[in-house]
């Protein structure tokens, strides 16, 4: 099994296959795996916090593997987008971000779109406001200035620090104004009861339509305010070093696998 990106290191994998990890992280969504049971080969993980949680050497916490976009021939910038906003993909099912971005005059980037299209849009943005962690990771790799906002669903926040620590980033996320009554409920309860019946009832209640109209307006105003904030980037020397370490780790892994295949009977 190849575990190449995302917060997907948990215990719920079949024991029999060998698991190869190149850049994934631990997100706290489920119990951590025992990567020392003899069935895991951890090449590197997203950051030092994942390394510590899995009882791995700190040197294994290189960076998220999306940093290796810097080694690829990428799609050109998709025009001059100005300021863009990328919500977490869950926010498209519980919020009204297309409407909020339209009112704010800010370009929406849907993280569910085609990968090359997303990369082109991020490259073409003057600044990316992002609730999605990989929006920041990809923007940083492509050297597009970005502004982190705290995810409305609190469970999505902790993993940011793991990646930020890998690049020695001083992460200072800004609050994000909910764009719907359901998002406001999720934010108020820190997502603890998001999947329960109460959240669904609120999202479908008679109050939802007028409340959503007002919340979209407030979210648009807040996005415009965020667009005037100072974005950030990791240091050039730090991202170059992390990228080279990740690339070297991948090359060493490929050489070792090629050697194993050559000596198989």
Interval 175-200: pLDDT, tens: 999 999 888 888 887 665 555 566 66
Helix (H, G, I), strand (E, B) or coil at 160: helix
Given this model, what pLDDT does residue 192 score? Answer: 56
Given this model, what pLDDT does residue 153 score? Answer: 82
29 has pLDDT over 70:
yes
pLDDT digits over 53-89, tens only?
999 999 999 999 999 999 999 988 888 889 999 999 9
155 has pLDDT over 80:
no
DSSP 34-78: -TTSSSEEEEE-S-HHHHHHTT--GGG----GGGGGGGS--PPP-
Q: How confident is the model at residue 94 (pLDDT cuts 50, 70, 90)?
A: confident
Arithmetic mean of pLDDT over the chain: 91
- In angstroms, the Cα distances linking 65 to 17, 163, 214, 229 are 22, 10, 40, 28
Contacts (Cβ under 8 Å, ≥6 apart) of 158: 27, 28
How large is the average pLDDT for residues 130-147? Answer: 97
39 has pLDDT over 90:
yes
Given this model, what pLDDT does residue 79 score? Answer: 81
How large is the average pLDDT for residues 4-22? Answer: 94
Given this model, what pLDDT does residue 257 score? Answer: 84
Angle made by CA atoms 28, 33, 39, in degrees to the nearest 5: 155
How large is the average pLDDT for residues 111-120? Answer: 94
**DSSP H stretches of helix in 125-226:** 133-142, 158-166, 181-188, 197-203, 208-226
pLDDT digits over 209-255, tens only?
888 999 999 999 999 999 999 999 999 999 999 999 999 999 999 99
Sign of dihedral through CA atoms 163, 166, 169, 171?
positive
């Amino acid at each position: 099994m190849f575990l190449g990106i995302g917060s997907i290191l948990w215990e719920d994998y079949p024991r029999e296959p060998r698991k190869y990890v190149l850049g994934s992280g631990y997100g706290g969504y489920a119990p951590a795996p025992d990567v020392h049971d003899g069935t895991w080969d951890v090449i590197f993980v997203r950051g030092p916090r994942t390394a510590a949680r899995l009882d791995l050497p700190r040197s294994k916490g290189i960076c998220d593997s999306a940093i290796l976009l810097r080694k690829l021939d990428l799609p050109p910038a998709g025009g001059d987008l100005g300021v863009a906003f990328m919500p977490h993909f869950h926010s498209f099912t519980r919020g009204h971000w297309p409407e909020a971005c339209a009112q704010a005059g800010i370009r929406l980037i849907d993280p569910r779109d085609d990968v090359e299209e997303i990369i082109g849009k991020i490259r073409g943005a003057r600044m990316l406001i992002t609730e999605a962690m990989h929006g920041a990771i990809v923007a940083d790799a492509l050297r597009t200035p970005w502004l982190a906002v705290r995810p409305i669903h609190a469970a999505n926040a902790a993993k940011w620090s793991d990646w930020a620590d890998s690049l020695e980033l001083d992460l200072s996320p800004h609050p994000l104004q909910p764009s719907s009554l359901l998002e406001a409920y999720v934010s108020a309860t820190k997502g603890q009861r998001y999947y329960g019946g109460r959240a669904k009832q609120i999202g479908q209640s008679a109050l939802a339509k007028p409340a959503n109209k007002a919340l979209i307006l407030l979210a648009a105003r807040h996005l415009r305010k965020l667009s005037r904030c100072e974005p950030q980037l990791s240091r050039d020397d730090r991202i170059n070093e992390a990228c080279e370490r990740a690339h070297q780790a991948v090359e060493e892994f490929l050489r070792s696998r090629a050697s194993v295949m050559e000596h198989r009977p």
